[in-house]
Structure 1
Amino acid sequence: MRYRRTDIVDRALVVLDGYGLADLTMRRLGTELGVQPSALYHHFGNKQELLAAVADEILARGRRGPRPEPWDARVESVCTELRDALLAYRDGAELVATVRSFGLGGATPYDEIVDALGGAGLDPALVPTAAGALLHFTFGHVVDEQTHLQAGSAGAIGGPPREHSDFGDGLTLILDGIRAQARVG
């Protein structure tokens, strides 16, 4: 059977969700598709290109629609949507953060945050730093959430799952800092 690039990415998402990022290998993916791993290289030059395509698909599937107008509501919308998209797949945060740090994909949330921060009245030199801080907070928070969930489901830690996420509170603190900096500038 011949597979298209989209078929491979779809199956890679299934493997990611079922086994985790460490086990998302070309060999396992080839086995899942019933092809030799070398067949995957007709669609992706290397594993990093595949991971970038998977990360971009996670982000695309998490996209909800139009953004609110005020800059801070837009940033909150982007970060919340990103969190939800990353939580939808096992190791989603680790994958997207890694791909982004390598400069291979996952740039859409950053670009949207930078665009929104343009209306904040922030010194333009601080916009990339503010956007980075928002992304790092989101990625880090989701990695923590996913690690806790996985450890709990594997029996590595006791107790019930966390009942409440403080993601919104943390995001508000960062946005308050950006607002304060914009007033100073």
Structure 2
Amino acid sequence: MARYRKVDVVDRAIGVLDDRGLDDLSMRNVAAEMGVRPSALYHHFASKQALLDAVADRILELGRRATEVVTWDAELRLVGTELRDAMLGRRDGAILIAGVHALGGGAREPQRRMEDALRRAGADEHLARVGARTLLHFVFGHVAEEQIRARSADGSRAVGADAAPPGAEVPDDFAVGLGLVLGGLVTAVQRNRGARAAAQ
């Protein structure tokens, strides 16, 4: 196993995910793809959940765009769109990433970036946390529905049929929904700043 780096195991696991789906993403199947015993993978990962956490983080890392964003609301839009594209770009991506995030072990970067953007806008800690989670839940739910529809249309692959490639125009219903959530957050941040200023 010394000839394999941790990232090699993760990348091979992503291949298993794309080829077979989340239900077949096991330590045994990844080990078989690499030509090693399952026990060899425990050198890098203490459990299957640790591997799933790393796979989710790697998918998100590969989905990052080299874009400099100036305004906080543009940052939120970028993170939401990146997250959608990353999940739709992989078979069962929404189930994997939303599940890993819910369990608290991985896929934390989008929420951290959203919270940071809201803090820069002047939101307090509570609004930053709740606002980021609300935006995340919109993206998770929307993409899960897209992948369920795609799976129904083609059982062999669960990648969204209408997924936009990185940098392409986002389908209208997602863009409109994202705009509605962001509009609500802009209003909430303005009120939050005003209340804090009045209390001083």
Report the secondary structure of 1:119's partner residue: helix
Partner of 1:43: 44
Partner of 1:183: 190
Partner of 1:53: 54
Which is further off, 2-11 or 133-142? 2-11
Q: 1:31-180, aligned counterparts within 5 Å?
A: 31-154=32-155, 164=171, 166-180=173-187
Quick one: distance in 2 between partners of 1:113 and 1:148? 28
Q: How far does residue 98 in structure 1 lie from its aligned partner after superposition?
A: 1.3
Q: How far does residue 90 in structure 1 lie from its aligned partner after superposition?
A: 0.6
Q: Identity across aligned pairs (percent)?
A: 49
Q: Quick one: which amino acid aligns to residue 120 of structure 1?
A: A
Q: Quick one: which amino acid aligns to residue 63 of structure 2?
A: G
Q: Quick one: which amino acid aligns to residue 128 of structure 2?
A: V
Q: How far does residue 65 in structure 1 lie from its aligned partner after superposition?
A: 1.6
Quick one: distance in 1 between partners of 2:172 and 2:28? 36
Gaps of 5+ in 2: 164-170, 193-200
CA RMSD of aligned residues (A): 1.8
What is the TM-score normalised by the length of structure 2? 0.84
Gaps of 5+ in 1: 156-160
Partners of 1:122 and 1:182 within 8 A in 2: yes
Partners of 1:16 and 1:23 within 8 A in 2: yes
Q: Quick one: which amino acid aligns to residue 98 of structure 2?
A: A
Q: Quick one: which amino acid aligns to residue 39 of structure 1?
A: A
Deviations 1:19-67 (A, max 9, x none): 1111101111111111111111111111111111111100110011233
Quick one: distance in 2 between partners of 1:65 and 1:142? 23
